[in-house]
Amino acid sequence: MRNSDVPARGRTVLVTGVGRRQGIGFAVTRRLLQDETTRVFAHSCDGYDVTEPWGVGTPGAKQVLAELSTATDRLGHLDVDFVDPTAPATLFDAAESTFGSVDSLVVNHARSQLGDLATMTAESLDLTWAVNARASLLLVQEFARRYVDHPDGGRVVLFTSGQGQGPMPTEIPYAVSKGAIASITPTLADAVIERGITVNTINPGPTDTGWAGADLNEFVERHMPRGRWNSPEEAAAVVAMLLSPDSGSITGQVIGAEGGFRRFTP
Of residues 225 and 106, the one with the higher pLDDT is 106
Half-sphere exposure in the Cβ direction for 158 (13 Å, CA): 32
Q: Which residues contact 234 (CB under 8 A, 6 or more apart)?
A: 204, 207, 257, 259
- Helical segments of the chain, H only: 24-33, 46-49, 61-65, 87-99, 122-128, 135-146, 172-192, 214-223, 232-243
- pLDDT tens across 131-165, in order? 999 999 999 999 999 999 999 999 999 999 988 88
pLDDT of 57: 64
Q: How far apart are CA 74 and CA 86, in angstroms?
A: 25
Query: Per-residue confidence at 113, pLDDT binned at 50, 70, 90?
Result: confident
CA angle 202–133–94, rounded 5-degree value? 90
For residue 107, pLDDT over 90 is answered with: yes
pLDDT of residue 260: 83
Supply the pLDDT for residue 179: 97
For the cut 90, the answer to whether the pLDDT of residue 180 exceeds it is yes
Max intra-chain CA distance, the chain: 57
Judge whether residue 214 has pLDDT over 80. Answer: no
Mean pLDDT of 25-29: 96
pTM: 0.92
